[in-house]
Protein backbone atom coordinates (compact mmCIF):
# COMPACT_ATOMS: atom_id res chain seq x y z
CA UNK A 1 0.00 0.00 0.00
CA UNK A 2 1.34 3.46 -0.92
CA UNK A 3 2.28 5.88 1.84
CA UNK A 4 -0.31 8.64 2.29
CA UNK A 5 0.99 12.14 1.53
CA UNK A 6 -0.11 15.09 3.65
CA UNK A 7 -1.14 18.47 2.29
CA UNK A 8 1.62 20.99 2.96
CA UNK A 9 2.00 24.73 3.39
CA UNK A 10 5.47 26.20 2.90
CA UNK A 11 6.94 22.71 3.02
CA UNK A 12 5.40 21.68 6.36
CA UNK A 13 2.59 19.11 6.70
CA UNK A 14 -1.01 20.05 7.54
CA UNK A 15 -3.37 17.56 9.17
CA UNK A 16 -6.99 18.46 9.91
CA UNK A 17 -9.25 16.81 12.45
CA UNK A 18 -12.62 18.53 12.83
CA UNK A 19 -12.03 22.19 13.65
CA UNK A 20 -8.34 21.72 14.48
CA UNK A 21 -5.41 21.81 12.11
CA UNK A 22 -1.99 20.50 13.14
CA UNK A 23 0.87 22.17 11.29
CA UNK A 24 4.49 21.09 11.33
CA UNK A 25 6.59 17.98 11.81
CA UNK A 26 5.82 15.87 14.87
CA UNK A 27 9.52 14.94 14.97
CA UNK A 28 10.42 18.59 15.72
CA UNK A 29 10.39 20.09 19.21
CA UNK A 30 7.22 22.11 18.51
CA UNK A 31 4.14 21.98 16.30
CA UNK A 32 1.41 24.56 15.70
CA UNK A 33 -2.22 23.82 16.48
CA UNK A 34 -4.79 26.00 14.74
CA UNK A 35 -8.25 25.96 16.26
CA UNK A 36 -11.05 27.27 14.02
CA UNK A 37 -13.33 29.26 16.31
CA UNK A 38 -15.81 30.54 13.73
CA UNK A 39 -16.54 30.37 10.02
CA UNK A 40 -18.34 32.52 7.50
CA UNK A 41 -20.03 31.79 4.19
CA UNK A 42 -18.34 33.00 1.00
CA UNK A 43 -20.62 32.10 -1.89
CA UNK A 44 -21.18 28.34 -1.34
CA UNK A 45 -18.05 27.76 0.75
CA UNK A 46 -17.51 27.86 4.53
CA UNK A 47 -14.20 29.60 5.31
CA UNK A 48 -12.39 30.08 8.61
CA UNK A 49 -13.10 33.49 10.13
CA UNK A 50 -11.53 33.46 13.61
CA UNK A 51 -8.60 31.13 14.28
CA UNK A 52 -6.67 30.58 17.53
CA UNK A 53 -3.02 29.55 17.09
CA UNK A 54 -0.95 27.63 19.65
CA UNK A 55 2.74 26.72 19.50
CA UNK A 56 2.94 23.51 21.52
CA UNK A 57 5.61 21.03 22.53
CA UNK A 58 5.53 17.65 20.79
CA UNK A 59 7.28 15.82 23.64
CA UNK A 60 5.52 16.56 26.93
CA UNK A 61 6.82 13.73 29.09
CA UNK A 62 8.44 15.17 32.22
CA UNK A 63 7.32 18.72 31.35
CA UNK A 64 4.86 20.58 33.55
CA UNK A 65 1.47 20.96 31.81
CA UNK A 66 1.65 24.74 32.19
CA UNK A 67 4.68 24.74 29.86
CA UNK A 68 3.19 22.65 27.01
CA UNK A 69 1.95 25.77 25.20
CA UNK A 70 4.81 28.14 24.34
CA UNK A 71 2.81 30.82 22.49
CA UNK A 72 -0.79 31.62 21.57
CA UNK A 73 -2.72 34.23 19.60
CA UNK A 74 -5.91 34.75 17.57
CA UNK A 75 -6.06 35.81 13.94
CA UNK A 76 -8.73 36.68 11.39
CA UNK A 77 -8.68 34.04 8.67
CA UNK A 78 -6.76 30.86 8.06
CA UNK A 79 -4.05 32.49 5.94
CA UNK A 80 -3.04 34.93 8.70
CA UNK A 81 -3.07 32.11 11.26
CA UNK A 82 -0.89 29.86 9.08
CA UNK A 83 1.51 32.73 8.44
CA UNK A 84 1.99 33.32 12.18
CA UNK A 85 2.38 29.58 12.80
CA UNK A 86 5.02 29.31 10.06
CA UNK A 87 7.02 32.21 11.53
CA UNK A 88 6.85 30.73 15.03
CA UNK A 89 7.92 27.28 13.83
CA UNK A 90 10.77 28.73 11.75
CA UNK A 91 12.10 30.81 14.64
CA UNK A 92 11.74 27.95 17.10
CA UNK A 93 13.72 25.65 14.79
CA UNK A 94 16.48 28.27 14.42
CA UNK A 95 16.76 28.61 18.20
CA UNK A 96 16.90 24.87 18.84
Q: Could you read off the pLDDT of 11-50 as tens digits, one per residue? A: 999 999 999 999 999 899 999 999 999 999 999 999 999 9
Q: Is the pLDDT of residue 64 over 90?
A: no
pLDDT value for 96: 62
What is the model's pLDDT at position 49? 92
pLDDT score of 72 more than 90: yes
What is the chain's Cα-based Rg?
Answer: 14
Chain centroid to Cα 6, Å, comes to 14
**Do 76 and 83 touch, CB atoms closer than 8 A?**
no
pLDDT at 2 over 70: no
User: For position 44, what pLDDT does the model report?
Assistant: 92
pLDDT > 70 fraction of the chain, expressed in percent and rounded: 95
Amino acid sequence: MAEKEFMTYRGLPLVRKGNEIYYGNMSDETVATLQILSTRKVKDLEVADKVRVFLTLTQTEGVDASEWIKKRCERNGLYEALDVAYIWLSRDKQNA
